């Protein structure tokens, strides 16, 4: 770990967002912007409490531009009483773009494609589902979070390797 200016070791702490409505429904999410559930908000607060207990007090936070990540980070910071630290949000931390699978129930996709192809789509470094439709991709690219970006950087679909 690199040394900070005070001579102490620095840590990188990675925190996943709390439970989202898509998690509860068993849906592929990707860049779809879904909120946290009540349980997800409790999980984020509990994460902040654990970080505090272990003395892991961040001096900066980075999140995606998706509501579930932003809300989780805000709740963690509230639990740590560190809402004042810098927060940087970037689309580059968004979840993998699941393309045509976004919003679909995982159980339905599994039944359609079988376990082998399902695992390849979800876990293989190069597994890539079908892309978003042209209409959905245009809608995503027009979203205020992504509209300033060159259109080619807003993906219609991603594999883990792409991400």
CATH of residue 10: 3.40.50.1240
Q: Which of 47, 79, 95 is the last residue of a domain?
A: 95
163: in domain: no
Please tell me whether the overall predicted TM-score, pTM, comes out greater than 0.85 for this model: yes
Q: Tens of pLDDT along 121-130?
A: 999 999 899 9
Beta bridge partners of residue 105, listed in sequence order: 27
Task: Give the ranges where the chain is alpha helix by DSSP (H).
Answer: 21-25, 38-53, 67-80, 106-123, 134-142
Q: Which of 3, 17, 43, 135 is catalytic?
A: 17
- Please tell me the predicted confidence (pLDDT) of residue 64: 98
162: in domain: no
Whether 112 and 153 share a structural domain? yes
Q: Tens of pLDDT along 59-93?
A: 999 999 999 999 999 999 999 999 999 999 999 99
Whether 56 and 91 share a structural domain? yes
Whether 4 and 79 share a structural domain? yes
Q: Which of 43, 49, 62, 95 is catalytic?
A: 95
Q: What is the distance between the alpha carbons of residues 61 and 85, in angstroms, rounded to a whole number? A: 8
DSSP assignment, residue 95?
A: P
17 in catalytic set = yes
Whether 84 and 133 share a structural domain? no
Q: What is the distance between the alpha carbons of residues 121 and 157, in angstroms, rounded to a whole number? A: 11
Q: What is the distance between the alpha carbons of residues 12 and 86, in angstroms, rounded to a whole number? A: 15
């Amino acid at each position: 770990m690199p040394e900070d200016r005070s001579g102490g070791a620095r840590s990188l702490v990675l925190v996943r967002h709390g439970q989202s409505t898509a998690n509860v429904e068993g849906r592929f999410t990707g860049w779809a912007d879904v909120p946290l559930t009540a349980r997800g908000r409790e999980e984020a607060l509990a994460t902040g409490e654990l970080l505090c207990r272990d003395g892991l007090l961040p001096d900066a936070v980075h999140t995606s531009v998706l509501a579930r990540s932003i809300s989780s980070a805000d709740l963690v910071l509230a639990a740590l009483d560190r809402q004042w630290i810098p927060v940087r949000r970037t689309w580059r931390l968004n979840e993998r773009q699941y393309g045509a699978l976004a919003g679909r129930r995982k159980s339905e996709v599994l039944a359609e494609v079988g376990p082998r192809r399902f695992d390849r789509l979800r876990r293989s470094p190069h597994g890539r589902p079908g892309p978003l439709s042209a209409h959905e991709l245009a809608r995503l690219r027009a979203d205020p979070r992504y509209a300033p970006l060159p259109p080619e950087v807003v993906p219609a679909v991603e594999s883990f390797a792409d991400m």
